[in-house]
Amino acid sequence: SQQGEEDPQALSIQEGENATMNCSYKTSINNLQWYRQNSGRGLVHLILIRSNEREKHSGRLRVTLDTSKKSSSLLITASRAADTASYFCATAEPNYKLSFGAGTTVTVRA
Amino acid sequence: DTAVSQTPKYLVTQMGNDKSIKCEQNLGHDTMYWYKQDSKKFLKIMFSYNNKELIINETVPNRFSPKSPDKAHLNLHINSLELGDSAVYFCASSQVYVDTGELFFGEGSRLTVL
């Protein structure tokens, strides 16, 4: 069954605006990762946050993790047209399995 | 240099046929994976190999058989293809599976079964 679920399914924003997407999961995790997928391409790793961390930054990306609520959020600040892609959260379970959801499709309008 | 490469990129075939997808990684990683992405973009793990040994085998029909001749290669053979097998299949690798760290993905192989 699906572990991570992203919300919203789709997001359309103006260039320069911030984009926020959320991920909820069901079981305990070792870490949570976010990936980006451009249309017709493979997934690219963006950021990893461990279960004992609450927030992490990487460039224009900010990830939060709330293990008590079993949820995470990804914030992309000052979005650009090149940020148009699908974003996936992936949960690393204690059995070493990395489970993905169906992603959030982000469209950044010029 | 492509880190994780899959061939073929596109595969169109008739129901009932047998087909293979090959994957190679040049990152020196110990662990390789096959994921299936359906038309709704949901990505589901199928298999995982660590140093040629099968460590994850999800509920996948027996028609799917992975094979890892060495730790740099993980191939996927599919027998008696069905319409529902149409999807994009991604190969991925990671350094050490016990850390469940970053996965490096190939560009995908789009399989269409007619």
Question: B67-114, pLDDT tens digit by residue?
Answer: 999 999 999 999 999 999 999 999 999 987 666 789 999 999 999 999
Rounded Cα distance, B72 and B99, in Å: 19
What is the pLDDT at residue A1?
46
Rounded Cα distance, A13 and B30, in Å: 40
Model confidence pLDDT, tens digit, residues B42-75: 999 999 998 888 988 887 899 999 999 999 999 9
Rounded Cα distance, B3 and B94, in Å: 11
B84 burial level (CB within 10 Å; 0-12, 13-18, 19+): exposed
Rounded Cα distance, B106 and B91, in Å: 5
Q: Are B102 and B88 in contact (CB under 8 A)?
A: no
Q: Which two tokens stand for residue A93?
A: 């379970």
Model confidence pLDDT, tens digit, residues A20-54: 999 999 989 999 999 999 999 999 999 999 999 99
Q: Which residue type does A65 have?
A: L
B14/chain A closest Cα distance in angstroms:
23
Inspect the interface and report whether the beta carbons of A98 and B100 lie closer than 8 Å: yes
Inspect the interface and report whether the beta carbons of B45 and A42 lie closer than 8 Å: no
Nearest residue in chain A measured CA to CA from B91: A42
Inspect the interface and report whether the beta carbons of A43 and B98 lie closer than 8 Å: no
Closest to B44 (Cα-Cα) out of A23, A102, A105: A102
Average pLDDT over residues B9-22: 97
